[in-house]
Amino acid sequence: MSTRRKLSVKKPVKLIFSGGFLGSGKTTALAALAKRLIERGMRVGFITNDQSENLVDTIIVRQMLADLGVPVEEVVKGCFCCKFDELIEHVEKILAYNPDVLMGEPVGSCTDFVAAVANPIKIQYRDAFRFAPFSIMVDPERVRSLILNETQTDFPEDVAYLFGKQLEEADTIVLNKVDLLTEKESNRLLAAIGDRYRGKKLMAVSAREGTGMDKWLEDLLSGRPGANTVLRQIDYDRYATAEAVLGWLNAAVKLTADELFDAGQFMTSLATRLRDRFKAEKGEIGHLKFVLTSAGKSMWANLTHLAAEPDVGGEKLDKLLRGTFIINARVRLEPEDLETIVRDSLDKVSNEMEVQSEIDDLQCFSPAYPEPPHIIREPVE
Ligand SMILES: Nc1nc2c(ncn2[C@@H]2O[C@H](COP(=O)(O)OP(=O)(O)O)[C@@H](O)[C@H]2O)c(=O)[nH]1
Ligand SMILES: [Mg+2]
C-alpha cells in the first residue's frame, strides 16, 4: 500500500459514514445525529465530500454545527474513494481535536466505499478507528422509481445500477423521509427493500422530524462491527456511466441590490425556473441545492425531484442588500446545457428581482471515471 501516515489517537475513534444517492438526506441526518452525540457529551468531527469546490453542504454543516465546536473538513474534486490520501489528511486534522466520533458523508454518486475506503482504513489504521455499521440512506421516491420501477424516471438504467450497488454494500439501509409516508407505505417499501437486499438491518427514519433517529443511533453506537459488506463484483464502466450522465455544477455568485430583497423569494424563483427548464429538457434532478449567506447567517433551498416544490429553510433573510450565493446542481444534462440554463435563469431572476448577480466561480462538468487508488475486495475484519 503506497502512503501510510502515522495517526495518533488516545483511543479508537468511531467512524460513522453514511452514504446514499443524491438528495437522500445524508447531510440532514448526519447533522441531526451529530447533535445527538454532542448532547451525550461526545466530541464529534465531520467530513464532507464533493466533486468540486463550493459545496453547499459544507456551508450548511459548518453553520449548523460550528457553535457546537464541531470541526468540519471537506474533501473536494473527487469522492473519498478516489481521494483516499486527501481523506486521511483531513481525518488527521480532525484527530487533532481529539474526537470520539468522526462522521463522513461520501458524495451521493459514490459506491464501492467498503473496498476503496473502509478496507484500506481498516488495514492501514487498524488501531485508530472502529467503523460503525455503514448506513445507506434512501429516499422513498427513488425506491419507487429506481428499484421497484413503479414511477417514471428519466434516469437511465445505469443510475439504477449505481443505486443498487449502494444498497448492496450497506450494513444498514435507512429509509428516510417517512414523515412523507403513511405507515403502510413505509412498511411496504421496507419489505420490498428487505426482499431484494437480504441480511441488511433496515431502519425507517425522518431525519427532519427525528422519528427513528435514536434507534438508528443506538445501532451505530452498539459496537456491531461495521463496513463489512464488500461488493464482490462491480462493473466500473457502468458505475462511471451512471456518474457521467449527470451534469455537475457548483457556482459562487455575489449578489448586490439597491433595494432590499428577500433571499427566500430569490431562491424559490430561481429553483422553480430551473426546475421548469430541466423538466422541458427531461433533465432529471439528482439534487439542486442553494445556500445564500449574508452577515454570517444562511438560508438554503433544495429540490430533489422534478415534481416537487422547492424546500426552503435556515435563517430568515428577507431584507438583504448583499449576499453570497452558492449553487449546486446535479442534473441529467450535458454540462454545457446545464451551465447555459443556470446562467440564463440566474440572469432572468436577478433582473426580475432587481438584484445584480456576479459569478465569482463556476465549475460545470461530468464526474470523471472513478479510479480509486486502493481496492481491497476481500473481507477485512
Ligand atoms: N420530508 C423530509 N425531507 C427531508 C428529510 N431529510 C432530508 N430532507 C430533505 O431532502 C433534501 C435533501 O436532503 P440532504 O440532507 O441535503 O440530502 P443529501 O444530498 O443526501 O445530503 C432537503 O431538501 C432536505 O431538507 C426528511 O426526513 N423528511
Ligand atoms: Mg449532502
Homologous superfamily assigned to 13-242: P-loop containing nucleotide triphosphate hydrolases (3.40.50.300)
Same-fold call for 13-242 versus 246-365: no
Q: How confident is the model at residue 169 (pLDDT cuts 50, 70, 90)?
A: very high
CA distances from 108 to 37, 84, 162, 166 (A): 24, 16, 10, 10
What distance in angstroms lies between residue 177's CA and the mean position of ligand 1's atoms?
Answer: 7
Q: What is the pLDDT of residues 336-362, one digit of tens each?
A: 999 999 999 999 999 999 999 999 999
For the segment 284-288, the average pLDDT, to the nearest whole number, is: 96
160 has a pLDDT exceeding 80: yes
Q: Which of 22, 26, 28, 79 to mutate to test the pocket of ligand 1 (most atoms within 8 A of CB)?
A: 28
- 27 Cβ below 6 A of ligand 1: yes
Q: What is the pLDDT of residues 98-136, one digit of tens each?
A: 999 999 999 999 999 999 999 999 999 999 999 999 999
Computed over every residue of the chain, the mean pLDDT equals: 96
**Alpha carbon distance 289, 25 (integer Å):** 12
- 22 Cβ below 6 A of ligand 1: yes
**Alpha carbon distance 232, 362 (integer Å):** 38
Q: How confident is the model at residue 67 (pLDDT cuts 50, 70, 90)?
A: confident
**Alpha carbon distance 101, 132 (integer Å):** 10
2 has a pLDDT exceeding 60: no
Q: What is the pLDDT of residues 217-242, one digit of tens each?
A: 999 999 999 999 999 999 999 999 99
Domain extents for the chain? Answer: 13-242, 246-365
What cell does 206 get? 425522518
- 176 Cβ below 6 A of ligand 1: yes
Note the pLDDT of residue 251.
Answer: 98
Q: Which CATH class is domain 246-365?
A: alpha beta
